[in-house]
């Protein structure tokens, strides 16, 4: 099961996302990229719908996409 944890790098906050607790290469980003992701969340949802098959649970579909 994936999880999200807060961390820091050089005194700056990071969000670290892992697929499993043993994940060797987690997806991590700071506040600047987190804001960018939020700004483009609908674009990311559409991208996943187009290329990724199944949508993760508890994530509403992108506007204009299939329900």
Residue 29's domain comprises 3-51
pLDDT of residue 67: 44
Residue 57 lies in a domain: no
Which run of H or E residues covers position 13? strand 12-18
Mapped onto helix, strand or coil, the DSSP state of residue 28 is strand
Given a contact cutoff of 8 angstroms between Cβ atoms, the answer to whether 42 and 63 are in contact is yes
Residue 40 lies in a domain: yes
Give the Cα separation of 10 and 1 in Å (integer). 28
The two three-digit tokens of residue 57, written as one number = 């649970």
Q: What is the pTM of this model?
A: 0.69
49 class by beta-carbon count within 10 Å (0-12 exposed, 13-18 middle, 19+ buried): middle
Low-confidence ranges of the chain (pLDDT < 50): 67
Residue 19 lies in a domain: yes
């Amino acid at each position: 099961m994936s999880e999200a944890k807060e961390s820091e790098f050089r005194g700056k906050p990071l969000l670290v996302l892992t697929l499993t607790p043993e994940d060797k290469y987690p997806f991590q980003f700071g506040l600047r990229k987190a804001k960018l992701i939020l700004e483009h969340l609908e674009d990311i949802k559409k991208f996943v719908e187009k290329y990724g098959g199944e949508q993760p649970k508890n994530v509403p579909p992108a506007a204009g996409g299939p329900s």
